[in-house]
Chain A
Amino acid sequence: MTERHWEQVYDENAPRDTAFEELALHEKLTETWSQPKGFLGWLMSVDHKSIGRRYIVTAFCHLLMAGMLAMVIRVQLAYPDLQVLDPDLYNQFFTMHGTVMMFLFAVPMVEGVMIYLVPLMIGTRIIAFPRLNAFSYWVYLAGGIMVWVAFFINSGPDAGWFSYVPLAGPEFGAGKRSDIYAQMITFTEVAALAVAVEIIVTVMKFRAPGMTLDRMPILVWASLITAFMIVFSMPAVVVSSTFLILDRLIGTHFYNPAEGGDVLLWQHLYWYFAHPEVYIIFLPSLGLASQVVETFSRRPMFGYRAIVLALIGQGFLSFGLWVHHMFATGLPRLGNSFFAASSMAIAIPSGIVIFCWMATIGTGRVRLGVPMLWIISFFVLFILGGLSGVMLASVPIDLQITDTYVLPSHIHYVLMGGAVCPLIAAAWFWFSKLTGRSLQTSLGVLQWALFLVGAFVSFGAMFLLGISGMTRRVYTYPHNMQWDTLNLVASLGAWAIGLSFLVLLLNIALSLRSRASAPNNPFDAPTLEWSTSSPPAIYNFARIPFVQSRDPLWDERGELPVVSGLRVDTREILVTSAVTADPEMREHAPDPTLWPLIAAIVTSVILVASIYTPQALVWGAPPLAIALVAWLYPKHILAPRPEAVPEEETI
C-alpha cells in the first residue's frame, strides 16, 4: 500500500503508542477503552470479553436448569408405573430438556467461547461488529427467558426438540406451546447468525500481522468453519420455523397435505439444519480439545494441516447427512443408500483428527492435568457414541431401532462425550484466563470420576433398554417388561452426572472466593491469548503482536515482536488482509452504547407479541427502525473529510 499524503494531514499529531512507556501506555489505553462505570456502563458494554462471559454464564445456567429437568425425568423413570409427572407434563419436560440443551446451552455456549477466545487468540482488541455482538446476546437472553417463563406457566413446548408436524401443527398442537417453540428458534437463530458473521469477519480481517491462515490456532480454524456452517445451515430452520408459525397463526398450508402441503417438508428443512447443527457444536469442541492436547503434550500438533482439512471435510460432509434422520419415513431406497454412505464417510475425517491427537500425545511429553483427563473421557465416550452412530447409519439396523432408547443413548454419548467433555476441559484450561483464579485439582478429579462413571452407566443402560425394545418418550412403563433394573441403573448414572455438576459449582464458588491469583500462562500454552494478563486488560494487547509461527509463545521465549503506531486517544484497531494478514488499514472500534440493548428489547417485544397478533410486525417496525438508525448513524468524523483529499488521490 502506497503512503498517502492526506493521511499525514489527517491525524499526524495524534498520540500513539510509540510515545508511551509500558505503565503509562496501560493507563492511557485503559482510559480510552473502558466503558462508563456502573450498571448503565455494564448494559452499554460492547467488549467481546464481557459479552463472551455473559454468553458462557447464561448458557451454563441453561445447562443447569435443563439438567435438573433430566434429573426429574430420571426420577419418573426410575421405577415402573410412577406418577411423579403426568404424561402432559412429561412431554413438556423432555421437550424442554432437549430444546434448551441444544438451542440455549450447546450452541450459545460454543458461541460464547468463540466470542471470548477468538479475538484474543488472533491478537486483536475487538470482535468485528461489537454492537451487533451485544445485540445478539440480549436477543439470546430474551429468548431464553421467554421459553422458561412459558414453561413455568404450563405453556412449554411439548412436541419434542425437533417438533415434527402434524403433532406441532395447528391441528394437533393446542395452545401456544409450539408457537413458543418456533419463536424460541427465531431468537436463537438471530443471535447465532449475528455471531457467525462476526466470527467470519474477525478471523478474516482482524488477525495480527503475520498470522497467515496457515498459522492460525486450530480452534480459530474450527471457529471459522463453524461460523460458515451456521451461515449455510441456519437459513433452512429460519424458513421451516417461519412456515410452522405461519401455518399456526395465519392459516397457511405449507405442512397441510389436505391443501397441497407436505408434512415431510418440515423434516427435510429441519434436519438440513439440525444435522450440521450437531457439528456446529462438535467442531469447536474439536478445536478446544486440540488446544488442550497440544499444550499438555508439550509439542506442536502432529498433522496440523491434516486436522484443518479434516475439519473442513466434516463441515462439508455434515450437510449431506440429513436424510439419515428420516430412514423410517419411506423415502426412495436409492436416496437412503446415498445418505447411509455419506453418514459412514464422515467417520473418516473424525478418525483423522483422533489419530493426529494420538500421534501428538504419543510423541509428546504428556502431563496429566485435569483438562487432559476430560480429553480422555471425551475419547472414550465419543468413540462409543460414534460407533453407535455408524450402527444407526445402516438403514436395516436403523429401521429396527428407530424411536427406541438407542437413540437417546447415542445422542447423549456423542454430545456429552463430544461436546460437554471438551467444554469442561476448556473451562478448566481457560478458567484462569477468564477469572484470574485457579480451580482445585482434587475437586476436579472427583467431578471427572463422577461424570465419567455416571455417563458410561446411564447411557449404557439406555442403550441396552433400546435393544430390549423400550421406546423413547414414554412417560412410564409397566412392571412386567423386564426394564425395571436397567431403568434404575440409568437413573443412578444420571444422578451421578447431576452430582458431578454440583461439585463443579462448588469448585467454581471456592476458587472465585479465594484470593490467590493465577499466573498469566499456568500451563505453558503456545497461543497468543496466554501472553495477556489474567484476566486480560480491556484493550487485550497493549501493542499488537507480530506473528512469525504457529506457536508464538513457544518459539519466542522472550518478548513477543510487535507493531507500533496505533493511536491511543481513540479506540483504534488494525485491519489486515484476508489470507496473508498484511496490515491494510487502521479502524476505529465502535463506542459502548445502549442502542443494541434497546433494539434487542424492541425485537423481543415484536417477536413475543407476534405470537398473539401478526399486527405486531407492523406496529413494531417503526420503533425498531428508529432504534437501528440511532445505533448505526455515525456521530464523529473519524477519517479525512472528502474536501481534504486532493483530487489526484481519489481512486
Chain B
Amino acid sequence: MSAPRIIRDVSRLPTYSSGPSNPMWWGTLAFVTIEGLGFVFGIAVYLYLQTHNRSWPLGPQPDLLWPSILTAVFLLSEIPNWWLKKRSSHHDLFWVRIGLAGMSLIGLAVIALRGFELTTLNIRWDSNAYGSIVWFLIGIHTTHVLTDVFETIVMAVLMFVGPVDMRRFAEVNDNQDYWDFVVLSWLAIYITIHWLPRWLEVAP
C-alpha cells in the first residue's frame, strides 16, 4: 500500500465555534423553521375560517388585559436575553450563569401569566370553530414556552454544575435565539387573535 496523499493538515482546527460554522446552529434554525411554519399554518387557518364565516369572531372575544401584560413582559425579556447572548459570545461564565438564572425566573413568570390568560379566553375549544382555533394557537405557543423555559432551566443547571467547556456557550446562544423565536411567534398570534378582529370591526 502506497503512502497516503496528504494535502492538508487539520489537527490545529478549533474544537468549538458558534453561529453558522456550528452544525447545531443549523439544526436549531431548521427546527425553528419547521415550528414557525406550524404557526404560519395555524394563523392561515384562523384567517381561512374567518373568511368562511359571515360574522367573526363567533362569540365573545378573549380579555385583553392578561395577554397584553404578557406581551409587555415578552418584549422586556428581550433586553436581558440580548445581554445574555452578548455575555455568552464573550465566554463570560460568571455572567452567563446569572443571566440563565434570570431568564429561567422570567420564563416561570411568563408561564404564570399564561395561566391567568387561559382563564380569560371567554370561549371553550368545543364551543365552535373560533374557540377551536384560538385554543389551538395559544396551545401550541404554550407548548413552546414550556419546553423553552424547561430547556433554559436545564442549561442554567448545566452551567452551574458542569461539565462546562467552550462548546456550551454556543448552546446557550442557540437557546436564547430560540427564546427570540418564542417571543416573535407570540407577537404574531397576539396581533391575529386580539387586534385583527378589532381593526376589522372599525374598518368600513
Q: Are A250 and B125 in contact (CB under 8 A)?
A: yes
Among A114-122, A212-220, A284-292, A574-582, the stretch in contact with B: A574-582
Known pairs A260-B130, A633-B158; A235 contacts B9 (CB<8 A): no
Contacts of A238 in B (CB 8 A): 38
Cβ of A306 < 8 Å from any Cβ of B? no
Q: Are A585 and B13 in contact (CB under 8 A)?
A: yes
Q: When the two chains form the complex, which single residue of B2, B49, B166 contacts A645, counting CB atoms closer than 8 Å? A: B166
Give, as a whole number of angstroms, the nearest-CB distance from A118 to chain B.
14
Whole-angstrom CA separation of A95 from B167 in the bound complex: 49
B window 17-60: CB within 8 A of A: 17, 20-23, 26-27, 30-31, 33-35, 37-38, 40-42, 45, 48-49, 52-53, 58
Contacts of A197 in B (CB 8 A): 27, 30-31, 34
Q: When the two chains form the complex, which single residue of A206, A209, A259 contacts B23, counting CB atoms closer than 8 Å? A: A206
Q: When the two chains form the complex, which single residue of A231, A234, A585 contacts B17, counting CB atoms closer than 8 Å? A: A585
Whole-angstrom CA separation of A635 from B158 in the bound complex: 10
In the complex, the chain B residue whose C-beta lies closest to that of A272 is B41
Whole-angstrom CA separation of A565 from B13 in the bound complex: 9
Q: Are B58 and A4 in contact (CB under 8 A)?
A: no
Cβ of B108 < 8 Å from any Cβ of A? no
Cβ of B204 < 8 Å from any Cβ of A? no
Cβ of A379 < 8 Å from any Cβ of B? no
Q: Are A629 and B49 in contact (CB under 8 A)?
A: no
Known pairs A206-B23, A239-B41, A254-B129; A1 contacts B14 (CB<8 A): yes
Q: Are B9 and A639 in contact (CB under 8 A)?
A: no
Whole-angstrom CA separation of A8 from B164 in the bound complex: 19
Whole-angstrom CA separation of A642 from B159 in the bound complex: 11
Q: Are A252 and B15 in contact (CB under 8 A)?
A: no
Known pairs A253-B129, A563-B7; A637 contacts B163 (CB<8 A): yes
Cβ of B136 < 8 Å from any Cβ of A? yes
Q: When the two chains form the complex, which single residue of B21, B22, B34, B53 contacts A234, counting CB atoms closer than 8 Å? A: B34
Q: Are B26 and A18 in contact (CB under 8 A)?
A: no
Known pairs A22-B1, A259-B129; A645 contacts B33 (CB<8 A): no
Contacts of A193 in B (CB 8 A): 34
Known pairs A197-B31, A254-B133; A625 contacts B150 (CB<8 A): yes
Contacts of B133 in A (CB 8 A): 254
Q: Are A253 and B132 in contact (CB under 8 A)?
A: yes
Known pairs A129-B27, A259-B129, A638-B165; A633 contacts B8 (CB<8 A): no
Q: Are A641 and B164 in contact (CB under 8 A)?
A: yes
A224-239 to B contact mask, C-beta < 8 Å, 1/0: 0000000110111011
Residue of A18, A584, A638, A639 ringed by the most chain B CB atoms within 10 A: A639
Cβ of A442 < 8 Å from any Cβ of B? no
Contacts of B6 in A (CB 8 A): 18, 543, 561-564
In the complex, the chain B residue whose C-beta lies closest to that of A269 is B41
Q: When the two chains form the complex, which single residue of A3, A4, A635 contacts B163, counting CB atoms closer than 8 Å? A: A635
A631-651 to B contact mask, C-beta < 8 Å, 1/0: 001111111111001000011
Whole-angstrom CA separation of A3 from B163 in the bound complex: 25
Known pairs A563-B10, A583-B13, A640-B166; A645 contacts B34 (CB<8 A): no
Q: Are A639 and B16 in contact (CB under 8 A)?
A: yes
Residue of B40, B52, B168 ringed by the most chain A CB atoms within 10 A: B52
Contacts of A206 in B (CB 8 A): 23
Contacts of B11 in A (CB 8 A): 16, 18, 564-566
Whole-angstrom CA separation of A574 from B90 in the bound complex: 25
Cβ of A446 < 8 Å from any Cβ of B? no
Q: Are A232 and B37 in contact (CB under 8 A)?
A: yes
In the complex, the chain B residue whose C-beta lies closest to that of A258 is B128
Q: Are A639 and B165 in contact (CB under 8 A)?
A: yes
Whole-angstrom CA separation of A558 from B5 in the bound complex: 10
Whole-angstrom CA separation of A536 from B58 in the bound complex: 61
Q: When the two chains form the complex, which single residue of A201, A250, A565 contacts B12, counting CB atoms closer than 8 Å? A: A565
Q: When the two chains form the complex, which single residue of B17, B40, B126, B166 contacts A584, counting CB atoms closer than 8 Å? A: B17
Give, as a whole number of angstroms, the nearest-CB distance from B163 to chain A.
5
Contacts of A265 in B (CB 8 A): 45, 48-49
Q: Are B31 and A637 in contact (CB under 8 A)?
A: no
Contacts of A259 in B (CB 8 A): 58, 127-129
Q: Are A639 and B132 in contact (CB under 8 A)?
A: no
Contacts of A638 in B (CB 8 A): 15, 165, 167
Cβ of B93 < 8 Å from any Cβ of A? yes
Contacts of A22 in B (CB 8 A): 1, 4
Contacts of A243 in B (CB 8 A): 45, 132, 136
Q: Are B21 and A260 in contact (CB under 8 A)?
A: no
Cβ of B71 < 8 Å from any Cβ of A? no
Whole-angstrom CA separation of A259 from B53 in the bound complex: 10
Q: Are A252 and B166 in contact (CB under 8 A)?
A: no
B window 110-161: CB within 8 A of A: 125-133, 135-136, 150, 154, 158
A263-283 to B contact mask, C-beta < 8 Å, 1/0: 001001100000000000000
Residue of A206, A574, A585, A645 ringed by the most chain B CB atoms within 10 A: A585
Residue of A543, A544, A584 ringed by the most chain B CB atoms within 10 A: A584
Contacts of A355 in B (CB 8 A): none
In the complex, the chain B residue whose C-beta lies closest to that of A261 is B129
Known pairs A561-B5, A561-B7; A7 contacts B130 (CB<8 A): no
Q: Are A563 and B8 in contact (CB under 8 A)?
A: yes
Q: Are A585 and B15 in contact (CB under 8 A)?
A: yes
Q: Are B10 and A11 in contact (CB under 8 A)?
A: no
Q: When the two chains form the complex, which single residue of A128, A252, A629 contacts B132, counting CB atoms closer than 8 Å? A: A252
In the complex, the chain B residue whose C-beta lies closest to that of A641 is B165
Whole-angstrom CA separation of A102 from B18 in the bound complex: 39
A570-602 to B contact mask, C-beta < 8 Å, 1/0: 000011011000011111100000000000000
Can you add 16 more A-B contacts, CB < 8 Å, to A201-B26, A633-B154? Answer: A18-B9, A197-B34, A235-B41, A243-B136, A250-B125, A253-B127, A256-B129, A261-B49, A563-B6, A566-B10, A574-B13, A583-B8, A625-B150, A642-B169, A645-B166, A651-B89
Q: Could you name 26 residue pairs across A and B whose Cβ atoms are closer than 8 Å?
A: A16-B11, A204-B26, A209-B8, A232-B37, A235-B34, A235-B35, A250-B126, A251-B125, A265-B45, A265-B49, A268-B48, A563-B7, A563-B9, A564-B8, A564-B9, A565-B13, A575-B23, A583-B8, A585-B16, A586-B15, A625-B150, A633-B158, A638-B165, A639-B16, A640-B15, A651-B89
Shortest 8 CB-CB distances between A and B: which pairs?
A565-B11, A260-B129, A251-B126, A252-B132, A235-B37, A261-B129, A639-B165, A259-B128
Residues in A lying within 8 Å of B, measured CB to CB: 1, 3-4, 7-8, 10-11, 16, 18, 22, 128-129, 193, 196-197, 200-201, 204-206, 209, 231-232, 234-236, 238-239, 242-243, 246, 250-254, 256, 259-262, 265, 268-269, 543-544, 546, 558-566, 574-575, 577-578, 583-588, 625, 629, 633-642, 645, 650-651
